[in-house]
A and B are shown apart, each in its own frame.
Chain A
């Protein structure tokens, strides 16, 4: 038993259990403690990723693999989870809600994500996914007294259960026709025949459908806007970042590892999901008046782009997906940190786009930060959000998928419209009632840091981050 290789997961599980007890007996008084302790645990888990955790390879009879791919995914997930905890600090407490357990739930969710990104068996895949999802259902309805939050939790749970059912059906078919749950065994079964049997294909389709739900790719995206809108904003920030990364990485591993020989079969599905997500994410965001809803469509749109890299396949494709998700998380977390700043003078959160009107005159720094995130999410150079988009298109072009690349890049133009709309509201329109002032130095510095990362300064990251993603992607093959 190589426990050093799963040290990050052990740290998170242990601290999660301890903090749960602390929260249960300490009540509201210990919120600050659990928050910062959870952040420390997550950062500690990041350091534990060094060494064995990315080198050990297959563990526990092929249930999980401690490789570079998984380690990279865990790093992004843990860091964005830590930011989601910090962002929520002080958010729940003020409204007489119990905030102490929020970090604990995020910790358990993080353990689930860690299992997801390193799963090399259908069983661990499912266990990781459910651990993350169950924590997420609770988080979505964390604000019990708020109808919208409760509704979001219920919707998420019902639709998530449906997706899990679909996924399990696909898993059972794959197991039935291959006789194994291990990814390498499934890959061997797919490779055996020139054209996979119909049963295997059904298994593949259902598994991918279940995963598409988790990454909220069209046509399994319906839950996303409602859940994002209803869930408390820090939770939405969390949903849009860490679990999404984990799910995309999980899908990448499933496609490029377990189903690698059937690339022609899944590439069609992935291509459709990519283009449909890009298009729908762009068009449906058009009429939104709520910023969280708009960012939900933005995340659907962005997942579409990431999945283009998956459709390309190969080391380059996988590397571009990793790069994309890393930068996507920075942009999304930054954007949501800015949304958390949208509060009226009494401190109540505001979510309407109209309230941003004329922000560049009342709060120029905040307006510029949001503008940077929006241009970056739209993929307009010189902002750094352009680069990951370029990488996925580059991977597609390298594979000769020209129609996909052209269609995808035309999608960026459609999507650019609604990002520009936010900039227009902030910069062109007349000012409205200004937001209340808030003293939150940690969040402010996080906004600054994320904005700096996606600013043109970010191009300096291409070298180191590119090396990391290439190495991580290489460990898949």
Chain B
């Protein structure tokens, strides 16, 4: 591939973002929308050109800056990264459109921050150099810090600090681990490191250092507390990006670093991961049930859903890994859409208090329908994206640990409880509040925000093969790599005693 398409993918939003700073509000909106749509088009082209049966790393670019630990401009994607890139470029134009009217002050800076965010996110998924990855990974904190801090709600400053320092604290330990790895393996190339065998003792420490970073980003219980604050205070589009893409960096980190680079340590720490994920599923679901603030409820539901990802990832089998990836994609779409749904009514009534609404299906039928679709998807209704992912993750998990699977499955029930309860309080019942009753149904722009996501959710639910196909070979390679450390598991097929079978066979032959 001669055209440096991944560089272009990253450069388009970067250049557009810089451009935004020098123009007025309306021009900035259009520049941002066009740039994100260009990136979406490039993303689709990448997906079309990606060869699922081809090399592991495609669209590879390499530009060295110096020797040693110097970051090289090394880009390249596999199927896993491709899918997450698709998620990012798909959500970005929606985010820009969602902020079209909701953001009134300092629009150029807002658009610039979002475009910078997009460039850095895409960089994380494209990077093939450890240092480059870290730079993109950490750099993403700055635009999000500004987005929450400038355009956020009343408690925005506390939330922005908490977000920044919490995630920074998690990541710096990872940096020390990276330095060790680069010295030990004498390379900064992620593909090479993925095949490098570290001694078990070192693996444990390295795994913990990476875990500190990814667990915060994911977020896993008990380091999830920054997430509800950040979500509640961030503007709608900020929440969408946070839930849709930023959280996925944690899962991506596990699948790209922790599992292939430290397979033995990953097995060693399975109990830790499963216990934390189990607590997350049950505890945060219950916390979500008790919320009065819509955004907080969805934020806690994110923590519970991401626990399915960690469950699936550390199942060490194909179903678990594919399920985890699909949950990540599905959650990116659905929680993003749910935050948009909250944003739609927040823009009208300027409150996120659940009790201030009720009976919206009377005056906002279109909204109620779309909100229903995403609620059901979040619950994991068959036919929607989440069902496929959660089902696969649970199947994979069951092979490894029946107990963990039982705990995880309660999460689906609890998820149904809090989501349906939320939907009931908002859309059903009588229209008791006059101001809520006066709200208009979705505008054309808002339909354009939600309908594409709904289509994608159904697509992924009905024909997940489109999304699994690019990832299949890569998950296979990952499985080959971690096979040697795979846990025994407690569910095995036992061969039956086929005694009656030959007789039956003879009967049938007559």
Contacts and interface: CB of A to CB of B under 8 A. Distances in A.
A424 B148 CA distance: 11
Contact of B71 (A402, A417, A420, A459): A459
A382 B176 contact: no
B150 A427 contact: yes
Interface in A420-473: 420, 423-424, 427-428, 456, 459-460, 462-463, 466-467
Given A381-B135, A463-B66, A466-B66, A413 B165 contact: yes
A360 interface: yes
B383 interface: no
A393 B131 CA distance: 14
Contacts of A466: 66, 68, 70
B125 interface: no
B203 to A, nearest CB: 15
B66 A462 contact: yes
Interface in B41-95: 65-66, 68-71
A350 interface: no
A394 B70 CA distance: 11
A427 B134 contact: no
Interface stretch (B136-144, B303-311, B390-398, B411-419): B136-144
Interface stretch (A89-97, A225-233, A403-411): A403-411
B161 A380 contact: no
B497 to A, nearest CB: 57
Interface string A264-275: 000000000000
Contact of A424 (B69, B106, B157, B179): B157
User: How many residues of B sit at the interface, in one of the four size bands?
Assistant: 35 or more
Interface string B247-259: 0000000000000
Contact of B172 (A409, A424, A462): A409
B198 interface: no
Contacts, number: 92
A397 B184 CA distance: 10
Interface in B143-168: 145-146, 149-150, 156-157, 160-161, 164-165, 168
B179 A386 contact: no
A413 B109 CA distance: 26
A416 interface: yes
A428 B175 contact: no
A382 B66 CA distance: 17
A434 to B, nearest CB: 16
Contacts of B156: 428
B157 A409 contact: no
Contacts of A136: none
Contacts of A428: 149-150, 156-157, 160
A420 B162 CA distance: 11
B135 A409 contact: no
A361 interface: yes
A409 B175 contact: yes
Contacts of A456: 135
B161 A417 contact: yes
A397 B183 contact: yes
Contact of B135 (A386, A393, A410, A467): A386
A390 interface: yes
Nearest to B141: A380
Nearest to A412: B172
Contacts of B183: 394, 397-398
A69 interface: no
B180 interface: yes
B165 A417 contact: yes
A6 to B, nearest CB: 33
A380 B66 contact: no
A390 B165 contact: no
A413 B212 CA distance: 14
A462 B173 CA distance: 23
Nearest to A361: B106
A108 interface: no
B135 A382 contact: yes
Give the interface centre of A364, A428, A460, A467 by most chain B CB atoms within 10 Å. Answer: A428
Contacts of A420: 145, 161, 164-165
A393 B176 contact: yes
B109 A360 contact: yes
A72 interface: no
Interface in A359-389: 360-361, 364, 375, 380-382, 386
Contacts of B106: 361
B169 interface: yes
Contact of B179 (A380, A394, A423, A427): A394
A375 B149 contact: no
Give the interface centre of B69, B145, B156, B176 by most chain A CB atoms within 10 Å. Answer: B176
A408 to B, nearest CB: 9
A382 B179 contact: no
Interface of A: 360-361, 364, 375, 380-382, 386, 390, 393-394, 397-398, 402, 405-406, 409-410, 412-413, 416-417, 420, 423-424, 427-428, 456, 459-460, 462-463, 466-467
Nearest 6 interchain pairs by C-beta: A463-B66, A381-B135, A382-B139, A409-B172, A397-B179, A381-B138
25 contacts: A386-B135, A390-B69, A394-B182, A397-B179, A398-B183, A405-B176, A410-B172, A410-B173, A413-B165, A413-B168, A417-B161, A417-B165, A423-B145, A427-B149, A428-B149, A428-B156, A456-B135, A459-B71, A460-B65, A462-B65, A462-B66, A462-B71, A463-B70, A466-B66, A466-B68
Given A364-B21, A390-B131, 14 more contacts: A394-B179, A402-B180, A409-B173, A410-B173, A413-B165, A416-B165, A424-B149, A424-B157, A424-B161, A427-B146, A428-B157, A428-B160, A460-B65, A466-B68
